[in-house]
């Protein structure tokens, strides 16, 4: 793998006016960039060469078919996601509200007990484009939940939200739960195992024709934070792993435009791994899929903030969200919907101002 080339858009600019040959638009979104890092792996380190976009395009033939495909993916606009009758545009940041129906989630376990659907309505009202309903905790050390219990937890919530017209995603690793939730009106599957935990899952998603989130992970929730280790730079391993999962999903009949990738912040990654992945997120656009980030209230924030508990990590969560927005990430999975929507609206307003001539 040492001779492989990766491309990472960088040197983002306020606006492209008068810079037709010097700037390119990232994935049909609100960001324009003027340079690209050509990234190669040398042992456990990255070798980086920075090129203006015009120079990169002149050199593409010598960089090989993989780099040419990644470049085309970087420039290709992302198609909107269709969640039932709801359409979620990916040319702008979108918030995905986290709605746990579990008693033991790391941040809000039991918080909504008895009022989960009302909490979902509040998230949608506050600006969440999608409400992501989960019935099994995947925090470090969590044990699997029987699928019957998981269905019992999520189904009434999914039914109420979907009946109201809310775009709903089901956060599960299990095909039985996927089928039940999709039948109740969920329009997307968010699988932290990237369709690996249950061999039927890929077929369920393909048959439903719905979007799916494939998340990178190392190990399972019970063991993933026990000394996570990477042989190569973490972002490269994440990229290659997600590329393989995209290929497997396509082979199962899932169209690439319905695939969202998530680098799996905190899933088999220590603080340094998480920060390295966050710093290099824009490289993932070379996969040709929308990107979702789920850094909200994660332990990394506490680790660099005097061990702040989960309910005091809002500022760090917003910092990570804005860093991701600055690299073209389209979807933001968050606990604090109102605050995150406000932060991203201010970010969007600055982009709109920069892109308005005069």
**Same domain for 104 and 71:** no
* Cα pseudo-dihedral 256, 258, 262, 267, rounded to 10: -100
**Same domain for 85 and 28:** no
pLDDT tens by residue, 168-223: 999 999 999 999 999 999 999 999 999 999 999 999 999 999 999 999 998 776 66
What predicted TM-score, i.e. pTM, was given to this entire model? 0.93
Return d(Cα 278, Cα 300) in angstroms, integer.
12
334 close to 95: Cβ distance less than 8 angstroms: yes
pLDDT tens by residue, 261-296: 999 999 999 999 999 999 999 999 999 999 999 999
Return d(Cα 265, Cα 277) in angstroms, integer.
8
**Same domain for 228 and 260:** yes
**Same domain for 65 and 151:** no
153 close to 118: Cβ distance less than 8 angstroms: no
Return d(Cα 300, Cα 265) in angstroms, integer.
9
Is the pLDDT at 111 greater than 80? The verdict is no
Is the pLDDT at 58 greater than 90? The verdict is yes
**Of 43, 75, 107, which residue constitutes the final position of a domain?**
75
Domain containing 103: what range?
A: 81-354
User: Could you give the residue numbers annotated as active site?
Assistant: 298, 333
**Same domain for 190 and 276:** yes
* Predicted local distance difference test score (pLDDT) of residue 114: 61
**Same domain for 226 and 309:** yes
**Same domain for 122 and 14:** no
Number of domains, the chain: 2
* Predicted local distance difference test score (pLDDT) of residue 1: 41
* Predicted local distance difference test score (pLDDT) of residue 306: 92
Return d(Cα 307, Cα 325) in angstroms, integer.
26
* Predicted local distance difference test score (pLDDT) of residue 46: 85
As a whole number of Å, the CA-based R_g of the chain is 20
**Of 75, 106, 129, which residue constitutes the final position of a domain?**
75
Distances (CA, A) of 79 to 82, 157, 254, 355: 9, 28, 14, 21
**Same domain for 67 and 121:** no
Mean pLDDT of 136-143: 76
Is the pLDDT at 59 greater than 70? The verdict is yes
């Amino acid at each position: 793998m040492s001779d492989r080339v990766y491309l990472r858009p960088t040197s983002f600019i306020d606006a492209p006016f008068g810079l037709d040959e010097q700037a390119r638009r990232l994935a049909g979104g609100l960001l324009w960039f003027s340079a690209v890092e050509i990234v190669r792996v040398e042992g456990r380190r990255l070798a980086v060469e920075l090129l203006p976009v015009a120079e990169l395009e002149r050199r593409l033939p010598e960089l090989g078919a993989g780099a040419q495909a990644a470049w085309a993916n970087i420039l290709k606009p992302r198609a909107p996601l269709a969640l039932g009758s709801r359409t979620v545009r990916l040319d702008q940041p979108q918030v995905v509200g986290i709605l746990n129906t579990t008693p033991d989630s790391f941040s809000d376990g039991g918080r909504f007990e008895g009022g989960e659907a009302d909490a979902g309505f509040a998230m949608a009202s506050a600006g969440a484009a999608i409400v992501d309903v989960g019935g099994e905790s995947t925090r470090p050390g969590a044990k699997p939940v029987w699928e019957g219990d998981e269905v019992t937890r999520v189904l009434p919530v999914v039914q109420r939200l979907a009946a109201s017209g809310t775009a709903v995603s089901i956060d599960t690793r299990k095909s039985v739960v996927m089928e039940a939730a999709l039948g109740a009106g969920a329009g997307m599957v968010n699988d932290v195992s990237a369709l690996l935990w249950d061999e039927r899952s890929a077929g369920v998603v393909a048959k439903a024709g719905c979007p799916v989130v494939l998340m990178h992970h190392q190990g399972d929730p019970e063991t993933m934070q026990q000394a996570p280790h990477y042989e190569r730079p973490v972002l490269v391993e994440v990229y290659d792993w997600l590329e393989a999962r995209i290929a497997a999903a396509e082979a199962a009949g899932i169209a690439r435009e319905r695939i969202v990738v998530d680098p799996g912040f905190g899933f088999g990654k220590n603080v340094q791994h998480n920060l390295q992945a966050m710093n290099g997120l824009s490289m993932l656009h070379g996969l040709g899929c929308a990107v979702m980030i789920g850094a909200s209230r994660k332990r990394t924030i506490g680790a660099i903030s005097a061990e702040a508990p989960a309910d005091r990590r809002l500022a760090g969560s917003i910092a990570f969200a804005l860093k991701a927005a600055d690299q073209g990430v389209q979807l933001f999975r968050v606990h604090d919907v109102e605050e995150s929507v406000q932060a991203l609206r201010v970010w969007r307003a600055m982009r709109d101002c920069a892109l308005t001539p005069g």
